[in-house]
Copies of this chain bind each other. A is one copy, B any other.
Amino acid sequence: MQRTRLDIARIQAAREVIDPIFLDTPLYRCEALEPGLGCTVSIKLETANPVRSFKARGTELIASLLAGSGSRAVVCASAGNLGQALAWSGRGRGLDVTVVASRFAPAAKLDRIRALGASVELVDGDFDMARERASAVARHHGVRLVEDSLDIETCEGAATIGLELVDTVPSFDVVLIALGGGALATGVGHVIKARAPGAEVICVQPLGAPAMTLSWRERRVVTTGPTSTIADGVAGRRPIPAVLADLLLVADDAVLVQEASIVAGMRMLLHHAGLVVEPSAALGIAAILEDRDRFAGRHVVTIVCGGNVDMDAYHRWVGAPPIHDS
């Protein structure tokens, strides 16, 4: 494999810095999902921790580095999960954390960021506008801007999930990874390609927020107009060139799924696995639902990457009484 920005030794070293509460998350076969999906399904569960997503694996690295170098503040743009994770990691190390978010980010996520002691600044626009504003705040105050997926620590943190996969599951054929900015996909993908090269790395993005997938397919950065998806955690429209370059080296495929499939995936995870997940975390199941033949009989690992949902919205999507869920 050509060299990505990642390095296995650094990813292993990251495990020593990350609070163990975020490591060695549950990884188990979920047979109740299998009749509906036609393949063997293992879940890597990233929701059972204080911030209910995998993002703290990366923010733990960043906050330790900053605290170690005497920094006192940090800022990021976030659809919610990165902000919550940075707030948690920063608070534990005495950092002032500012999170810039879209006014359209789920209220539940913004409330949790504030509850963790961070300042929240809202912008009237999407995630990319929040990113610009965060950058301006960082320049103005001279503090570190955390850029998800661009900053190598966010990818290395996510990559520790990959180590746990290759060190635990005896054999798997496919890993399904939610694709947004690319930290999770390039991080986990790097480890899979380095340590379990026989497994297929498939990234999954919503049709309504396809920028990175289109970029991967065309092998150049493709930006898009406004996104339209319930999966706020992966909704960006301007891929980062360095992340795309890594993704081109580690992803075997990138697929787009419909909103209805994401909702069906969330419903299956609730009814058959007892898991409340955010839309991004159901992208893997959505991909299986849209292409059963591709996965038939194979052992598929899907990373359930976050569980921060507004419960009102969740109930609207998933519906209360299970009709005849698939």
Q: How large is the interface on A (under 10, 10 to 19, 20 to 34, 35 or more residues)?
A: 20 to 34
Among B24, B274, B308, contact of A47 (Cβ-Cβ < 8 Å):
B274
Query: Is residue A312 contacting chain B, with contact meaning CB distance below 8 A?
Result: yes
- Are A274 and B322 within 8 A (Cβ)? no
Q: How far is the CB of A319 from chain B (nearest CB, A)?
A: 8
Distance of A270 Cα from B312 Cα, bound (Å): 12
Q: Which of A29-37, A155-163, A239-247 contacts B (4 or more CB under 8 A)?
A: A29-37
Query: Is residue A26 contacting chain B, with contact meaning CB distance below 8 A?
Result: yes
Among B48, B50, B271, B311, contact of A311 (Cβ-Cβ < 8 Å):
B271
Q: How far is the CB of A256 from chain B (nearest CB, A)?
A: 27
Among B21, B28, B116, B308, contact of A28 (Cβ-Cβ < 8 Å):
B21
Distance of A326 Cα from B114 Cα, bound (Å): 19
Q: How far is the CB of A121 from chain B (nearest CB, A)?
A: 22
Q: Which residue of B lies closest to A273 (CB)?
A: B52
Query: Is residue A307 contacting chain B, with contact meaning CB distance below 8 A?
Result: yes
Distance of A270 Cα from B320 Cα, bound (Å): 13
10 intermolecular pairs with C-beta atoms under 8 Å apart: A26-B26, A28-B50, A31-B116, A32-B115, A52-B274, A271-B311, A274-B276, A274-B307, A315-B320, A320-B320
